[in-house]
Amino acid sequence: MGYSREVYDAAMAELNRRRTRAEGEAQERRAAFYALFPRAREIQGELAHLAAGTAKAVFGGNGAAQAMERLRDKSLALQKERESLLQQAGLEKDALKPAYTCGKCQDTGFIDGRMCNCLKGLLRQEAYRRLNEMTPLTLSGFEQFDLRYYSDRGEGDQLSPRAHMEQVLAFCRQYAEKFSLHSESLLFQGRTGLGKTHLSLAIAREAIQKGYGVVYGSVQNFVTALEKERFGRDGGEDRQDTNQMLLHCDLLILDDLGTEFSTAFVTTALYNIINTRLMAEKPTVISTNLSMKELLDRYGERMVSRMIGGYQRILFAGRDVRQLKNMERERSREGL
């Protein structure tokens, strides 16, 4: 999964906390048990000595089989004696072992080199938490997309803004439901306040819940991070490689293209991200307030032609929903 390094590090840190806690609590239980039954500590030492003896017996030549059998019988007798002491202490047979949150991987996150489901779950939770810090995802689901704010009056034979946005909403729902690593890239276009960010976040929410690594943010924030890393202005040795994160995440959502400060470096960086992800068939969702002509004037034919050829354009219609909601709140307050 293409999660950012920050998300991955946070998930691994949680696993380390779980493992450290489980092993620390097991150590405390052993210390209390040995204090109550000193014989138990002796048994542990004898078992360790027998384990070393078994390893030697394997290469003992003649009589090795008999020696190993004697060692095994002795080990079983010691284990039985220890179980008896545990019963006297009112403890379960495995009470001296760490009680890991995940018994499959013992809170390491991996089983035979493959990522455990517990780590996958932590990655999803952390990605969701970080995205939710930027904007409440519970308020940005498909269910919260309110079509009442779009006019149901069309001009001539054209669809009304509401009917048009019903189609946009349905398309985005289906896109999220069927999302995969090879889903098409989308270009959301329309004036400010028409719901582009809302539906971008709704798609992000569904993709995260499916277990995909989503990176979401404004273009301005990303290019600022890229500039700091490129020109060494962040002052950190372990700085996050933003460019690699943007190139390799499962789903990249770039919000507000066109609001960033324009430089030759920014244009080149954006082209590289868009082109590289298209070549790798990695889905990207871009939202912008700019028309195609404005995009062409700002970024040039090379970048815009890649977007035209590789992105599904989704046009947003209507009046500024944020303004309409503010007006509605004002009227509500005046009526109090």
Determine the pLDDT at residue 140. 80
Asked whether residue 150 falls in the same domain as residue 274, the answer is: yes
Asked whether residue 157 falls in the same domain as residue 295, the answer is: yes
Determine the pLDDT at residue 58. 62
Asked whether residue 227 falls in the same domain as residue 259, the answer is: yes
Asked whether residue 286 falls in the same domain as residue 154, the answer is: yes
**Backbone phi, psi, residue 261, to 5°:** -70, 125
Burial class (CB in 10 A: 0-12, 13-18, 19+), 275: middle
The count of domains in the chain is: 2
Asked whether residue 287 falls in the same domain as residue 226, the answer is: yes
Determine the pLDDT at residue 55. 62
Alpha helices in the chain (DSSP H): 5-36, 38-58, 64-88, 117-134, 161-177, 196-209, 219-231, 242-248, 264-279, 292-299, 301-310, 321-334
Q: Does residue 87 lie within any of the structural domains?
A: yes
pTM value is: 0.69
Determine the pLDDT at residue 301. 95
Q: What are the CA-CA distances from residue 285 to residues 109, 162, 199, 219 (Å)?
A: 30, 22, 10, 12
Asked whether residue 147 falls in the same domain as residue 283, the answer is: yes
- 256: three-class secondary structure by DSSP: strand
Asked whether residue 221 falls in the same domain as residue 165, the answer is: yes
Q: Does residue 119 lie within any of the structural domains?
A: no
Determine the pLDDT at residue 57. 61
Instruction: Give the CATH number of the domain where residue 255 resides.
Output: 3.40.50.300
Residue 151, Ramachandran bin (φ over 0: left; ψ between -120 and 50: alpha; else beta): beta
The range of the structural domain enclosing residue 15 comes to: 10-114
Asked whether residue 233 falls in the same domain as residue 316, the answer is: yes
- Residue 110 structure tokens: 């991996």
Asked whether residue 308 falls in the same domain as residue 160, the answer is: yes
Asked whether residue 102 falls in the same domain as residue 145, the answer is: no
Residuewise pLDDT in 10s, the chain (336 residues): 567 788 899 999 999 999 999 999 999 988 888 888 888 888 888 887 777 766 666 665 556 677 777 777 787 888 888 888 888 888 888 888 899 999 999 999 999 999 999 999 898 888 877 766 766 556 688 999 999 989 888 777 788 999 999 999 999 999 999 999 999 999 999 999 999 999 999 999 999 888 888 888 899 989 998 888 877 755 444 445 788 888 988 999 999 999 999 899 999 999 999 999 999 999 999 999 999 999 999 999 999 999 999 999 999 998 888 777 776 666 666 655
